[in-house]
Amino acid sequence: MRPFFIFRDPLKGTLKAAQIVKPKESLEIQQLETPKPRGSQILIKVNSAGVCHSDIHLWEGGYEGPNGQFLKTTDRGVKYPLTPGHEIAGTVESMGEEAGGFNKNDKVIVYPWIGEGLCPACRIGLENLCDKPRSLGVYTNGGYADYVLVPSYKYLVKLDEEVDLDASAALSCSALTAYGAVRNADLKPNDNLLVVGAGGLGLMAIQLAKRVTGARIIAIDLDDEKLDIAKKNGADDIVNSKKYDPVKTVLELTDRMGVDAIIDFVNASKTVETDMQMVRKRARIVLVGLFGGELKLNLVTMPTRAYRLIGSYTGSISEMAELVSLAKRGVIKPVISERFKLDQATEALSKLKNGKITGRGVINP
Amino acid sequence: MRPFFIFRDPLKGTLKAAQIVKPKESLEIQQLETPKPRGSQILIKVNSAGVCHSDIHLWEGGYEGPNGQFLKTTDRGVKYPLTPGHEIAGTVESMGEEAGGFNKNDKVIVYPWIGEGLCPACRIGLENLCDKPRSLGVYTNGGYADYVLVPSYKYLVKLDEEVDLDASAALSCSALTAYGAVRNADLKPNDNLLVVGAGGLGLMAIQLAKRVTGARIIAIDLDDEKLDIAKKNGADDIVNSKKYDPVKTVLELTDRMGVDAIIDFVNASKTVETDMQMVRKRARIVLVGLFGGELKLNLVTMPTRAYRLIGSYTGSISEMAELVSLAKRGVIKPVISERFKLDQATEALSKLKNGKITGRGVINP
Amino acid sequence: MRPFFIFRDPLKGTLKAAQIVKPKESLEIQQLETPKPRGSQILIKVNSAGVCHSDIHLWEGGYEGPNGQFLKTTDRGVKYPLTPGHEIAGTVESMGEEAGGFNKNDKVIVYPWIGEGLCPACRIGLENLCDKPRSLGVYTNGGYADYVLVPSYKYLVKLDEEVDLDASAALSCSALTAYGAVRNADLKPNDNLLVVGAGGLGLMAIQLAKRVTGARIIAIDLDDEKLDIAKKNGADDIVNSKKYDPVKTVLELTDRMGVDAIIDFVNASKTVETDMQMVRKRARIVLVGLFGGELKLNLVTMPTRAYRLIGSYTGSISEMAELVSLAKRGVIKPVISERFKLDQATEALSKLKNGKITGRGVINP
Amino acid sequence: MRPFFIFRDPLKGTLKAAQIVKPKESLEIQQLETPKPRGSQILIKVNSAGVCHSDIHLWEGGYEGPNGQFLKTTDRGVKYPLTPGHEIAGTVESMGEEAGGFNKNDKVIVYPWIGEGLCPACRIGLENLCDKPRSLGVYTNGGYADYVLVPSYKYLVKLDEEVDLDASAALSCSALTAYGAVRNADLKPNDNLLVVGAGGLGLMAIQLAKRVTGARIIAIDLDDEKLDIAKKNGADDIVNSKKYDPVKTVLELTDRMGVDAIIDFVNASKTVETDMQMVRKRARIVLVGLFGGELKLNLVTMPTRAYRLIGSYTGSISEMAELVSLAKRGVIKPVISERFKLDQATEALSKLKNGKITGRGVINP
């Protein structure tokens, strides 16, 4: 069977990219051939490429699995050298002959969670959950470059002329993941929602839950500073789980009923174990984080308490378009804290790995 | 605060009931005062009371929990002496002054999963998932008796004159549990559904999935005879997991993709562990059985594979009314295999416990 | 068949009510027997009874139908003398022996859209859409009285001690109708919503759509003052249809695509005709107002443009509980503009009829 | 802005097509250049092209509108000469360099309801409801030809080797339209569904509603023969509206409540007027047919009876894939009654126009 999306070998050329040539080594600036878009492909001039935690996994060549084993990215189909970068905002540079809907220099963000197009998920617009994903910056070259080739103009969402591209880049991954999780929590205005982890994703989830669901929001974290920001972003209540017993505190805040939904942006053994002790009957426990580990799940409580454990992974292009609309009207506000040049890509990843970027870092090639 | 549903002390009277006076001892036939329905209450003359596995837990005073500990029913609010029996079909005997909608002698089945009425679940008609359940035959006296008091006429669904009451009784628990699970599996016609356990509930789930979803159904069990019946009831494929490797076989049957949904009527450590090895991305794993045990859940696969673990407990009164409609038109066919008199209640429970009732046993008081 | 909810004949007694004895005549203050709650009934001491447009229809004995004919309320099952008043907030006075969940003096609002309890709508908690409605203040005596009898404690939602009862009363009808309509519009954050009519219901719909959907909101009205308030309540854009061509303006505001959804709080021939000219493919046109008249609907555009015309009538008790939660946290703010004594009931209705109450009038018996 | 899907001018070549060169004139067999698929395009060798009523509108250059005016297809963007044919089944002939997922000679059906890809409908997989449709055989050359160019491999659904291509062709339009309507009717097993018109679409809707919803089905038509077939296909009750008063009969069949949902495959003034007289509160009236005319809609009944009028137009590619799965397992059975050669295209359209094809006609180029 014919494979999908063959990208020609990158030869020496005019496209400048920061590539992972070998895991764990510094990224190298490469001169690659600038691809010429064919068919419905479109070439984007990258203005902003977000630096995301999952880029670190690509850089390290894998991540730690449940039993301390190292899960290699190459076993999941990743190939090196690779240009990382899946949070991409920029302008339209050129278009294949079957592409349309855009003009040169239009500001756009790119939906990177591209699927094969034929599985049941893709058929309903959930390419992020495709059986055979082709994500940009993961399985194909991404946005740590001055240009990126997108397989179809359909993966673009147009931005207004006055929009800040750096802030917009975050909409395609961190904000989208937060939004997908909020949607999966299936909230009503009289629900109590617990957001576990008040980092970048948690804060965005709080903003979104506040504005599009009306639910009451409790944020939990170990860091008072983050919790203060959570409160300013819309959390009704905050709990420092270092200082207070989280289970006791959350039960007190909810008339001893427990919360109706949890979004866990950590998703580690310890957080989910705690989650399961403070949920009401019918609770939705939305698992988002990639920290991993094992949960010893008491099976009989699943039916008797009608719990739902819901894995949530990024979001759909329709949801990304909804975020673009919310950001345009100032309803949500992604925060960019640091900017890097392309040749600072290794530094950007190191800083993120060492917890030295508080908001979102962006590379401006 | 005023408690709900105070039933006066049962005094010596004309109502004949088979009660669990003390856990593990033979049920005793008691002469209780026949309650006079007040307000919107309604008194039902019991024709058929299904004998259900969960009655055995009430009889034994508890069940085994995750770590071999014994979980007592009295710790969950059950009080003895208790008349069990939550699958009740009969006729209207008399009505409180605020009750209506029925005439004396109308054939009815009773919805036993009664809630307090004020929690968010009750407010949307999901009394089966109430925070403070008042289920008939569990927390209040049930149908192992010639009469049963129902708190409101609203918990009745009218049956046609020609309907078989014995078969109808099963609609309020075993068929309802199967139907609730099928609904929670959220099936489309091009989904592959795996039904784990081809006993009474599994067979009903197969009948229902066949007729109201159009999905392709694979049934798995250890028993060839049950699997044959499963095939006759609508299973497209059957797998004997004693003879064949279930994971390998199911993957072969689904082009190596795995199934889109599983309904697990066992819900034991071993079955669910196996379940998790044969599911497609986005799979719904619906956990119904009360066998229990622990699952070591790999947390990181929840978001990356977008799985959903869904606890499913009985069903709503609206769903019970839907089953009544399906049974009336012959679309589903509950099977009754054995009938008992009221004074054979202990025998009925013993037989069920020892696996000697293949379909559904019914007590005819 | 036994009828529902027989209320004993009101005899001379201690309950003081403002009743419509004969349509079109002044309401009379009657001394009625105070009902003693039986079964699950509950007696509420009324603190606040909202004055609603639909009370005027009851007072006038009917309303004008499609062809100028007068549709009598008595033909729809209304019986006089009648105590109107379906927006009721107060305190628990006494309870029937099967009632529970509340204490004397608890602050509550009453859900008035009571159904028979047996139809498919009631079975899923949509008693407002019951086939045989028994609404309080319409088919049975309502809140223009110092006490009102409620058929079950289940129709109450508890309020916090510090809550303003006058403002809370509005949640059970005007706010609920607005909320039901917003839910029926099925909005996403990148939808354009048009709210037709910026009166009390329109303003509440704007507040709600802003806070629980994230959609962009355009408000349309003939009155600049109302439109100013709409803007302050969250409308992104406002259109005075007296000064500007509504169709042209709305198309300009939506890149000539038309809006994704309309909530029409007028629902007259003229407004809906205009609605149909400014809707995008797939639009939901939610019809709420009771102005009436005929629409000449072009049938072929229904499939070709995939329109949905959705009739929306009040809301469910679950939705009312959601509103209570939103109001408690200050997310929505019902506005009460005028207060009346019980013996001013006729005056209150007259003022409302003549458009002299801008917000919501409330009777404090 | 760059337009979409530019197809090069058809020059004299090797592709043989039956084209409408001028409305109302006989179709002409043309020799066109066989397009070479580029990008993600795919060239299909047509085996079967269904002959559909909407092809007649293309042939006649328009259709009659609400006030007797003639609505021209050219005003809606149709351009002549045009190769009609949107129900296409065939085999993969060749693929553009970005296409994949298929092998040469794979049996496929084509999803013809192609959208631009950027509107909110397209973003969630509802290209059939795109703001700027590019449907095959309507806006671009279709299947009345030996080859047809499809803009992307994503618009194909693979068929099994043993499948009958003639029967499969119907899945992409007539069966899909029936299925979309059944889905829009939002049916439960205890709903009463009325199917208006027992022609090809009605019969398919009956088959589908029977197998995937469990609802009780009443079919109405003027023709006893069709009604007999309806009964054999799953209708629980049939009504000949020529012989019996449809309103009276349907009310009798539904305990005087009316039906919960109607699917109207005629959608003419007269049928919809009748529909509105036999619906229960909360009814969904799904309008599918393109007969047209005006309905005088009583606006006030929309909210008071909570009706929903739902325009339904074809279906999504996901729904088409579901139909392929149902047809493969024999759950539904599309019927082909007559086969034509390519040079009989005019004859096929004439026969269909004159009501001389009872099932589905298919052209085999």
Mean pLDDT, residues A209-213:
97
Lowest mean pLDDT among A51-65, B74-88, C217-231, D28-42: A51-65
- What per-residue confidence (pLDDT) applies to B5? 43
- What per-residue confidence (pLDDT) applies to A14? 87
Mean pLDDT, residues B158-183:
96
How far does B38 lie from chain D, in Å, by closest CA? 30
Res B6 pLDDT > 50: no
Single-letter amino acid, residue D42: I
Collect all residues of chain D within an 8 Å Cβ-Cβ radius of residue C295: 296-297, 299
Whole-number Cα distances in Å, D92 to D37, D130, D139: 11, 26, 22
Of D162, D209, D170, which Cα lies nearest the Cα of D49? D170
Mean pLDDT, residues C101-128:
97
Lowest mean pLDDT among B128-132, B275-279, D73-77, D322-326: D73-77
The answer to whether the CB of A171 falls within 8 A of the CB of A361 is no
Res B317 pLDDT > 90: yes
B295 vs A299: CB contact, 8 Å cut-off?
A: yes
Query: pLDDT above 90 covers what percent of chain D?
Result: 88
> Could you tell me the two tokens for A341?
């040049």
Chains that touch C (3 or more CB pairs under 8 A): A, B, D
Same topology between domain D14-173+315-363 and domain D178-311? no
pLDDT band at D335 (very low <50, low <70, confident <90, very high): confident
Q: Is D121 exposed, middle or buried (0-12, 13-18, 19+ CB in 10 A)?
A: buried
Residues 6+ apart with CB under 8 A from B281: A121, A129, A130, A131, B305, B306, B307
Res C208 pLDDT > 70: yes
Helical ranges in C32-125 per DSSP H = 53-60, 120-123
| Bond preceding residue A81 cis, omega within 30 of 0 | yes
Mean pLDDT, residues A54-73:
86
Query: pLDDT above 70 covers what percent of chain C?
Result: 96
Can you give the residue ranges of every domain in chain B? 14-173+315-363, 178-311
Best of C325, C328, C329, C332 to disrupt the A interface (most A CBs within 10 Å) is: C325
Distance of alpha carbon C182 from its chain centroid, rounded?
A: 13
**Topology of D14-173+315-363 in CATH?**
Quinone Oxidoreductase; Chain A, domain 1 (3.90.180)
Res D149 pLDDT > 90: yes
Res A360 pLDDT > 50: yes
pLDDT band at C330 (very low <50, low <70, confident <90, very high): very high
Mean pLDDT, residues B20-27:
96
Per 3-state DSSP, chain D is made up of helix, strand and coil in percentages (nearest 5) of 30, 30, 40
Helix (H) or strand (E) holding D348: helix D345-353
Q: CA-CA distance, C325 to D189, in Å (whole number)? A: 34
Out of D213, D216, D322, name the one closest to residue B190 (CB): D322
Out of C257, C294, C302, name the one closest to residue D287 (CB): C302
pLDDT band at B2 (very low <50, low <70, confident <90, very high): low
Out of D126, D302, D311, name the one closest to residue C302 (CB): D311
Residues 6+ apart with CB under 8 A from D296: C294, C295, C296, C297, D273
More confident: B245 or C336 = B245
Strands C360-364 and C336-341: parallel
Express each pLDDT in D8-66 by its tens digit.
444 457 899 999 999 999 999 999 999 999 999 999 999 999 999 999 999 999 887 76
A303 vs B313: CB contact, 8 Å cut-off?
A: yes
- What per-residue confidence (pLDDT) applies to C12? 58
Express each pLDDT in D210-233 by its tens digit.
999 999 999 999 999 999 999 999
Query: Which phi and psi angles does C44 have, rounded to 5°?
Result: -110, 135
- What per-residue confidence (pLDDT) applies to A66? 67
Whole-number Cα distances in Å, C298 to C302, D66, D97, D181, D311: 7, 7, 46, 19, 11
Superfamily of domain C178-311: NAD(P)-binding Rossmann-like Domain (3.40.50.720)
Three-class SS state of C208: helix
The answer to whether the CB of D215 falls within 8 A of the CB of D209 is yes
Whole-number Cα distances in Å, C191 to A47, A157, C186, C217, C279: 28, 15, 9, 9, 12
Helix (H) or strand (E) holding C212: helix C200-212
Express each pLDDT in B197-234 by its tens digit.
999 999 999 999 999 999 999 999 999 999 999 999 99
- What per-residue confidence (pLDDT) applies to B291? 85
- What per-residue confidence (pLDDT) applies to A5? 43
- What per-residue confidence (pLDDT) applies to A12? 58
Mean pLDDT, residues B190-195:
98
Express each pLDDT in A236-266 by its tens digit.
999 999 999 999 999 999 999 999 999 999 9
A304 vs B287: CB contact, 8 Å cut-off?
A: no
Q: CA-CA distance, D271 to D285, in Å (whole number)? A: 11
Of D123, D126, D134, which Cα lies nearest the Cα of D315? D126
Q: Is C356 exposed, middle or buried (0-12, 13-18, 19+ CB in 10 A)?
A: exposed
Residues 6+ apart with CB under 8 A from A171: A109, A320, A323, A324, A327, A334
In three state form, how does the secondary structure of chain B look? CCCCCCCCCCCEEEEEEEEECCCCCCCEEEEECCCCCCCCCEEEEEEEEEECHHHHHHHHCEEECCCCCEEEHHHHCCCCCECCCCEEEEEEEEECCCCCCCCCCCEEEECCCCCCCCCHHHHCCCHHHCCCCCCECCCECCCCECEEEECCHHHEEECCCCCCHHHHHHHHCHHHHHHHHHHHHCCCCCCEEEEECCCHHHHHHHHHHHHHCCCEEEEEECCHHHHHHHHHCCCCEEEECCCCCHHHHHHHHCCCCCEEEEEECCCEHHHHHHHCCCEEEEEEEEECCCCECEEEEECCHHHHHCCEEEECCCCCHHHHHHHHHHHHCCCCCCCEEEEEEHHHHHHHHHHHHCCCCCCEEEEEC
Whole-number Cα distances in Å, A227 to A99, A219, A247, A276: 46, 7, 17, 22
Res B8 pLDDT > 50: no
Collect all residues of chain B within an 8 Å Cβ-Cβ radius of residue A304: 290, 311, 313
Chains that touch B (3 or more CB pairs under 8 A): A, C, D
How far does C312 lie from chain D, in Å, by closest CA? 5
> Could you tell me the two tokens for C331?
């997310």
Express each pLDDT in D174-202 by its tens digit.
999 999 999 999 999 999 999 999 999 99
How far does A174 lie from chain C, in Å, by closest CA? 18
Q: CA-CA distance, C228 to C235, in Å (whole number)? A: 9
Lowest mean pLDDT among A66-80, B304-318, D344-358: A66-80
- What per-residue confidence (pLDDT) applies to D292? 81
Query: Which phi and psi angles does A251 have, rounded to 5°?
Result: -65, -40
Express each pLDDT in B104-145 by its tens digit.
999 999 999 999 999 999 999 999 999 999 999 999 999 999
pLDDT band at C7 (very low <50, low <70, confident <90, very high): very low
Res D3 pLDDT > 60: no
- What per-residue confidence (pLDDT) applies to D6? 43
Q: Is D66 exposed, middle or buried (0-12, 13-18, 19+ CB in 10 A)?
A: middle
Best of D1, D109, D118, D126 to disrupt the A interface (most A CBs within 10 Å) is: D118
- What per-residue confidence (pLDDT) applies to D66? 67
User: Is 0.90 topped by the overall pTM?
Assistant: yes
Res D128 pLDDT > 90: yes
> Could you tell me the two tokens for B81?
């002496």
Res C8 pLDDT > 50: no
